[in-house]
Structure 1
Amino acid sequence: MWVPEDTYAITRIDLPRAGTHGWQVRLQRRGVKYGKFFADRQLGGPREAYAAARQWREEVVEQFAAEEAQARICRPSPRNQSGVVGVSKIRIIAANGTEYWFWQAAWCPSPGERRSVKFSIKRHGDRQAFRLAVEARRDGTGA
């Protein structure tokens, strides 16, 4: 039997009892699932169904790449209490029950990579810890 070389996200489905033969494409991006079945009978055979499945997969992957190329614009959320994107006040409770408060700056230096740094309110005071977090977020450094 003929076996295709490129089967990324493409699976062969053969269920003789159900009369189902074809190729299934399944992809997932940011929690959204994309899938489509390409039946041999409707498309003229296994090779034709595979070609259609591969073409559809390529179109979906190109769509992902186009979305990735668009710059994400960060806007303050209504949940944002600091007024600065990527800067938040956080509370950490130690194992002994002691509560510590920080201003945290978070940013992404490159796709898929996340950095953050915390500034102690106890050590720096609320206003200075906030200023340090805003500066760290703006500069994209933990210094």
Structure 2
Amino acid sequence: MWIPPDTYAIARIDLPRAGTHGWQVRIQRRGVKHGKFFADRSYGGVPESYDAARLWRDDLVKRMADEENAVRICRRSPRNSSGVVGVSKVCVVAASGASYWFWQATWCPAPGERRCVKFSVKRHGEKQAFRMAVEARKDGAGL
């Protein structure tokens, strides 16, 4: 029997009594199920139906990744009060008990890495510290 090279999210379905032979693609993301069956008869054989299933799966995975990236960039969390993803206002309390406010920019330059930079409200003023944090976030995140 012919063995396909890549079977991520693709399963072979052979039900001789039902006359069903083909490849089933099944992927679930964020609770939404996606699936499609590719019958050997409709595509001209086992390798051809597999190729069609693989192409459909690859396209689906790419579309899902594009949607996730768009959602991550565009969707604002209800916890975000600054209105800019990755920019927040933080308070640091010194050992003396004094409070210092900063606008902070945070981003991930690579998987597993995190960077942040703070801009003092006392030194730069509220608006300028915020602008500096927004600019740092854009530069650091490559936006």
Q: Corresponding residue for 1:23?
A: 23
Q: Corresponding residue for 1:55?
A: 55
Q: Percent identity?
A: 63
Q: Corresponding residue for 2:40?
A: 40
How far apart are residue 70 of structure 1 and its match? 3.5
How far apart are residue 72 of structure 1 and its match? 4.1
Name the amino acid aligned to 1:12: R
Once the two structures are superposed, residues 51-82 of structure 1 have per-residue CA deviations (whole angstroms, 9 ceiling, x without a partner) of 000000110111122x25745468998x89xx
Q: How many residues align?
A: 127
Name the amino acid aligned to 1:15: L
Pair 1:5–1:49, CA change in 2 (3 A) = same
**CA distance in structure 2 between the partners assigned to 1:57 and 1:76 by the alignment:** 26
**Structure having the larger proportion of residues in helix:** 2
How far apart are residue 35 of structure 1 and its match? 0.5
Pair 1:68–1:18, CA change in 2 (3 A) = same
TM-score by length of 1: 0.50
How far apart are residue 22 of structure 1 and its match? 0.1
Structure 1: gaps of 5 or more residues: 86-107, 114-143
TM-score by length of 2: 0.50
Report the 3-state secondary structure (helix = DSSP H, G, I; strand = E; otherwise coil) of the residue aligned with 2:5: coil
**CA distance in structure 2 between the partners assigned to 1:38 and 1:44 by the alignment:** 10
Q: CA RMSD in A?
A: 4.8
